[in-house]
Amino acid sequence: MRITDLNREGGIGSNSLLVEAGEFNFVVDAGLHPKMVGMAAVPEFEHIGDRQIDFVIVTHCHLDHIGSLPVLLQKHPKARVFMSLPSQMLVERMLHNSCNVMKRQKEEKRIPEYPLFTHEDIEQIADRFEPLKYKTPLSLTKNGETIEITLFQAGHVAGAGGFQIDHAGKSVFFTGDILFDDQRVIGGARFPHARKFDAMVIETTRGETERPEGKSRDSEITRLLETIRETIRGGGSVLIPVFALGRMQELLSLINAARKDGRLPRCPVFGAGLGLDIADYFDQITKRTQLINYTRKVTKELRLKRPPRKLTPGKEPPEPGIFILSSGMLVERTPSYQLASTLLAHTRNAICFVGYCDPDTPGGKLLETRPGRTFLFEVLDYQCPVLAKVERFEMSGHADREEILEFALAAKPETIVLTHGDPGARDWFSKALEADDHPVRVIDPAPLQAVEI
Ligand SMILES: [Zn+2]
Ligand SMILES: [Zn+2]
């Protein structure tokens, strides 16, 4: 089997792998780079050349995995597209939103090639999406050769899947993005355990993150709830910036439960945007598949309010409360960015980060700014001292590096391929894997260089 990383930038970026297995060619994910724009954000699909792609496997619906799917599928009209049923229920909504964002960016940032696809393009590819059941192998035959695909629940986010490929007597496992811990809305990864694989392709997101002694998801949730409670009691507001898919519904569910059991006082809760729409899809997924646990009841019980439309930097919103808004990294011109500009200059407020923040985003920069120092909201042309409490809580949607290491080594593979991680994160995995007693060949593939596994 040959694997080529089509993500031209390396790192996390626009995830996409080309896999050649005998008669079969397939692609794993077709993402869009969150920090790049225009065609530079798209994987190097030209590299596929005139190979015929038989199928595409979508691991989950975050944009760094699906954002360029319509571009790929237009070039490969015969490719079948496999994903879990929850992913199939979410993928169109996510792509339509991405199309809207690109249309806006075309004007704001003057990117002539945007949108990379239209709403009609999405509709045209939608009937090619085929759901795969978890733990149920699918066999495909071509020119007398057989390949088998088996999807396994990966935690991380609703619909996420890792998968096993069996071909020509070899068995290879691709983790996709993983979380082993159970969350409120979705159970953790249910990967095959202690089964021998010839090779593994693993994500390495948290390779540079050491979990501090004594910190666990539960203890971090407790700390978050304490911060919210104290802030609300002091008359302030709390902003929790979240990703629309996954984090938002997890936080709504968590806050609702904490209010019911008395860990949080009653106060207004505000939410808006794509995340609320996704919450409605989660309601349908819960009813149809029982693979997740989120119903409309949560939003109803919370009496979720829309944040005020007009917000002025430096001026606190008229009604204090808990604001659960995207984007998770305070990206410019998003609801969380706007709201942060109203809260930051007042000591009684708190901004609580619960997920990964890229250091180049406003969220990443705010986390690096010391209390009392000045922070600039560039596109609002507003700056103020950091007086609100700014904290981060370790509630990542990705597994700890040690857990992934343990899972990978338990399968006793000959080869491990590293994906989905910054260079430092990949280095940590390389060193840790090579230090193990079990001899394993570790490959950190350079973009567009085929590796044999
Ligand atoms: Zn993801
Ligand atoms: Zn990802």
How far does residue 177's CA lie from ligand 2's centre (Å)? 6
CATH-assigned architecture of domain 2-209+397-452: 4-Layer Sandwich (3.60)
Reported as half-sphere exposure (CB side, CA atoms, 13 A), residue 183 has a value of 28
- Taking the CA of 160 as reference, the closest ligand is 1
What is the token pair recorded at 288?
Answer: 């149809």
**Cβ atoms within 10 Å, residue 226:** 12
Grouping H, G, I as helix, E, B as strand and the rest as coil, residue 320 is: coil
Residue pair 47/40 in contact (Cβ under 8 Å)? The answer is: no
> Any idea where the domains of the chain sit in the sequence?
2-209+397-452, 217-392
Nearest CA to 146 out of 174, 170, 175 is that of 170
Residues 207, 400 contacting (CB under 8 angstroms): no
How many CB atoms are located within 10 Å of the residue 283 CB? 18
Identify which ligand lies nearest to the alpha carbon of 7: 2
Element (H, E) at 343: helix 335-343
What's the gap in Å between 65 CA and the centre of ligand 2? 6
CA of 13 to the centre of ligand 2 (A): 8
CA distance readout (Å), 206 to 7, 210, 294, 340, 345: 19, 8, 27, 27, 32
Residue 228 phi/psi, 5° resolution? -65, -45
Which ligand places an atom closest to the C-alpha of 157? 1
The tens-digit pLDDT sequence of the chain (453 residues) is 999 999 998 888 899 999 999 999 999 999 999 889 999 999 999 999 999 999 999 999 999 999 999 999 999 999 999 999 999 999 999 999 999 999 999 998 899 999 999 999 999 999 999 999 999 999 999 999 999 999 999 999 999 999 999 999 999 999 999 999 999 999 999 999 879 999 999 999 999 998 778 888 999 999 999 999 999 999 999 999 999 999 999 999 999 999 999 999 999 999 988 999 999 999 999 999 999 999 999 999 999 999 999 999 999 999 999 999 999 999 999 999 999 999 999 999 999 999 888 889 999 999 999 999 999 999 999 999 999 999 999 998 999 999 999 999 999 999 999 999 999 999 999 999 999 888 899 999 999 999 999
DSSP letter assigned to residue 30: -
Distance 257 CA to ligand 1 centre (A): 25
pLDDT in tens, 414-439: 999 999 999 999 999 999 999 988 88
DSSP letter for 306, please: P
CA of 16 to the centre of ligand 2 (A): 11
Give the distance (Å) from ligand 2 centre to CA of residue 398. Answer: 9
Distance 57 CA to ligand 1 centre (A): 14
Span from the CA of 354 to the centroid of ligand 1 (angstroms): 15
For residue 43, give both structure tokens. 């994987």
Q: Report the separation in Å between the CA atom of 128 and the middle of ligand 2, taken as the mean of its atom positions.
A: 23
Residues 299, 352: contact at Cβ < 8 Å?
no
pTM across the whole model:
0.95
Cα(133) to ligand 2 centroid in Å equals 21
How far, in Å, is the centroid of ligand 1 from the Cα of 179? 10
In this structure, whether the domain defined by 217-392 belongs to CATH 3.40.50.10890 is answered with yes
Cβ-contact 276, 299 below 8 angstroms: yes
- Distance in Å, CA 315 to ligand 1 centroid: 35
Distance spanning both ends of the chain, measured CA to CA: 6
Please tell me the distance between residue 48's alpha carbon and the centre of ligand 2 in angstroms: 22
CB atoms under 10 Å from CB of 347, counted, come to: 12
